[in-house]
A and B are shown apart, each in its own frame.
Chain A
Amino acid sequence: MYFKSILVKYGEIGIKGKNRYLFEDALMDNIRFALQGIDAPFEVTKESGRILVTFEGTYDYEEAVSRLTKVFGIVHISPVVVLEDKSFDAIARTVGDYMEEYYGKPDFTFKVICKRADKHFPKTSMEAAADLGEYLLDRFDGLRVDVHKPEVGVHVEIRNCVYIYSVDIPGPGGMPVGTNGRATLLLSGGIDSPVAGYMIAKRGVKIDAVYFHAPPYTSERAKQKVVDLARIVSRYAGPIRLHVINFTEIQLAIYDKCPHEELTIIMRRYMMRIAQSIALDEKSMGLITGESIGQVASQTMQSLMATNAVCTLPVYRPLIGFDKNDIVDVSQKIGTYETSIEPFEDCCTIFVAKHPVTKPNVHAIERSEHHLADVIDEMVKRALDTQEIIECS
């Protein structure tokens, strides 16, 4: 069935007081961005607490729905029939045709829910609902009324036009990206970090990402995999700027000069420092990691404290209380899982000690880092200066 328009309903942002228009405008912009490249001209308009996307001519409906259901801030969308003729007969006929076309032979319980915003319309909402219900009962044998728990609620809204819909396709919820500032994601090729980015973006935060590349220990394909992951997350989070940092020199220096059981912690502290410095340049207000308590040696409470100690920006860890299974579930839902499990190694097993510390002491770590004092600043600067920027969308 052809729907010229799709009705977009949003939740939380409807209650944000005087800032509401900011959120609505951001959502409209994000919808426009998400629908870019769809094969028909379209218009995004705002009307009393909802957004209407109207397409001109034929378009790829499935694709449009798939894209809209990824835009944060949308609670659900409904394909809608828009009717300009507001006579009762025209409305009744159109509702009937809509039921027939969409459901074939309707065979379920239903209820008509009418909303009359246009007070010039001669019937009240209740009257219109009752009369339309009667019309549908006459026209379809399989329909039965159930006003308490209907299987299908047929919505008829009489405003400057008449809107008819009966289906809610769930959206992702959350807040429109861009309405809650900016944060910088430490993105690896694994399962967790893309999910972490997705979750923070869902709260309306614009995302940048940093990837630490260690050639020749990690391959070009590992890097490509991270770009692919950033692209998948960007379907929800909007365009992501990916900063690729060449980390080899720093890793080798740590390997040469620091105790091996502390390698991972020290490495992660430098990653945080570098990410923070990129974040500050990008006017980003926090760091995001995919850490979850106790998942690996570097994610114990002590280790998290040790890596956190080098950050002045807040570090957001949306997966902190998630089990691995829960994270995998989300990654499958958002479509990053298949890419995450491709077998290209990221920060190289070669640099993992056999028995890494699980309860690092911040002072001991700081003492070990002193061994790097004469070279590290220069190396960090070089890593930042030589960063490669890839815009992913």
Chain B
Amino acid sequence: MMDVYFDNAATTRVYEPAAELVTSLMLNEFGNPSSLHDKGVEAERYVRGARETFASLLKVKENELIFTSGATESNNMAIFGAARARRRYGRHIITTAIEHASVYNPMKELERQGYELTVLPVGSSGLVDPEAVRSAVRPDTILVSVMGVNNEIGTIEPIADIVKAVKETNPETLIHVDAVQTFGKVRFYPSRLGIDMMSVSGHKFHGPKGTGLLWVRGGVRIEPLIYGGGQQKGMRSGTDNVPGWAGMAKAAQLEFENFDDKVAGLYDLREYFIDQVLQIKGTAVNGGLRPGSFTVQEDPLACAAPHIVSVSFDDVRAEVLLHAMAEKGVSISAGSACSSNHPDISRTLKAIGVPKEHLDSTVRFSFSFDSDREQVDYCINALKEVLPVLRRYVPGGRKKRR
């Protein structure tokens, strides 16, 4: 049995050199960068190194980077921090219907606290319409948060056009991008893109869990989320996670080696997978089909990130399908957990108008640069084996003949 891991949008295996660096730092350079002795200074060198790495990969300034415990913290810091810092200028905030919970729920919390929230709809392939953003922005709009790549269907949002629409309407409005599924899969430079804040998560690109960063454009002031010993210029107190952040930086370096070739290869693999999966009866792919970018394309299906494919399967429940696939050694995840005792129906799938009968039968396959055709073939074969069996036992009674 092959072990095929197609759940890289959930988390990834840590790159070996990154894991080795983490271990070595834990055992050898275990000092606290806040300490004055040599051990502390040595440890600080690694945090500085990590900062330099990200600064050069993103083409931003080192002092614009705040290391965090992951994207949930980064998103919370960006949203609450900006809303608090700007509350005197307005109370209107904007986000989209398909954001990750770590953006959506902070936005909802701000709404509860008295801010006015506009949630923008998306089209059938998951695209936010920049013109809809333009008409939503008002003089009192302080923050717009839009994800770079959707985590469930892999749609790349037209961030460049959205930035233009926002800044032309209200140049004071801050733009935050949740780049968790974007960083390491799409080449972009946040400063040149014109956004103001961006969140990244280490474990999505083969770094350790519990690591992330928030980039905040120089000159933009937000309030901290965590108060304490004043680390990271008071923006994020708490002892530096030296091994974690150094490991994350190492992983980022490796992720960007031969980047363009790897991305092209991944798009090929995605296309290959989609060709194969659509040959199975009763399947539909959600989101984009062809490579996308940060600008609106004429072809609405040219909006795909290279690593995520969302597929709906007729007459089989996602949960059952993924357990059956797990038995074959293939790890995938449900596009949406939804049944009587799962309250959390996927907002994304509902927002793009996936038919009701598919909400509970949508599965996400997500690749990494290490994925290959052999794994795809194995996965497709496994699907072909399990689907006929599972489809014989369809929910709510026997539809097919014995």
Contact = CB atoms under 8 A, between A and B. Distances in A.
Interface of A: 215-220, 252, 255-256, 260, 343, 345, 348-351, 353-354
Interface stretch (B17-25, B287-295, B302-310, B391-399): B391-399
Interface in B350-402: 386, 390, 392-398, 402
B395 A216 contact: no
B326 interface: yes
B341 A345 contact: yes
Interface in B307-356: 317, 319-327, 339-342
Nearest to A256: B402
B339 A345 contact: yes
A217 B342 contact: no
Q: How large is the interface on B (under 10, 10 to 19, 20 to 34, 35 or more residues)?
A: 20 to 34
17 contacts: A215-B327, A216-B324, A216-B327, A217-B323, A217-B393, A219-B323, A255-B398, A256-B392, A256-B402, A260-B397, A260-B398, A343-B342, A348-B320, A349-B339, A349-B340, A350-B393, A350-B394
Given A260-B398, A350-B317, 14 more contacts: A215-B327, A216-B320, A216-B324, A216-B390, A219-B323, A252-B393, A255-B393, A255-B398, A256-B392, A348-B320, A349-B339, A349-B395, A350-B395, A354-B397
Contact of B396 (A217, A218, A354): A354
Given A350-B393, A353-B397, A343 B320 contact: no
A216 B390 CA distance: 9
A27 B341 CA distance: 41
B130 to A, nearest CB: 38
Contacts of A215: 323, 327
A289 to B, nearest CB: 22
A216 B326 contact: yes
A215 B322 CA distance: 11
Contacts, number: 44
Contacts of B322: 216
B313 to A, nearest CB: 14
Nearest to B316: A350
A371 B8 CA distance: 46
A260 B395 CA distance: 12
Contacts of A216: 320-327, 386, 390
B341 A343 contact: yes
Contacts of B324: 216
A217 B322 CA distance: 9
A48 to B, nearest CB: 53
Contacts of A349: 339-340, 395
A349 B340 CA distance: 9
Contacts of B386: 216
A351 B342 contact: no
Contact of B320 (A252, A350, A354): A350
A358 B289 CA distance: 50
Nearest to B341: A343
Contacts of A350: 317, 320, 393-395
A350 B396 CA distance: 6
Interface in B154-197: none
Contacts of A353: 397
Contacts of A345: 319, 339, 341
Nearest to B402: A256
B147 to A, nearest CB: 26
A354 B399 CA distance: 13
Contacts of B321: 216
A139 to B, nearest CB: 50
B209 to A, nearest CB: 20
Contacts of B320: 216-217, 348, 350
A247 to B, nearest CB: 14
The 8 A-B residue pairs whose C-beta atoms are closest, nearest first, are: A216-B323, A216-B324, A343-B341, A219-B323, A217-B320, A350-B395, A343-B342, A216-B320
Nearest to A355: B397
A216 B385 CA distance: 13
Given A343-B341, A343-B342, A345-B339, A219 B319 contact: yes
Contact of B393 (A218, A219, A220, A351): A351
A245 to B, nearest CB: 17
B227 to A, nearest CB: 33
Nearest to B390: A216
Nearest to B389: A252
**Interface-centre pick from B322, B323, B342, B392 (highest chain A CB count, 10 A):** B323
A351 B392 CA distance: 12
A345 B395 CA distance: 14
A137 B143 CA distance: 71
Nearest to A222: B323
B331 to A, nearest CB: 12
A288 B206 CA distance: 49
A218 B319 CA distance: 9
Contacts of A217: 320, 323, 393
A220 B402 CA distance: 29
Contacts of B339: 345, 349
B337 to A, nearest CB: 8
A226 to B, nearest CB: 16
B202 to A, nearest CB: 26
B389 to A, nearest CB: 9
Name, among B319, B340, B392, B402, the residue most crowded by chain A CB atoms within 10 Å (CB to CB).
B319
A354 B390 CA distance: 18
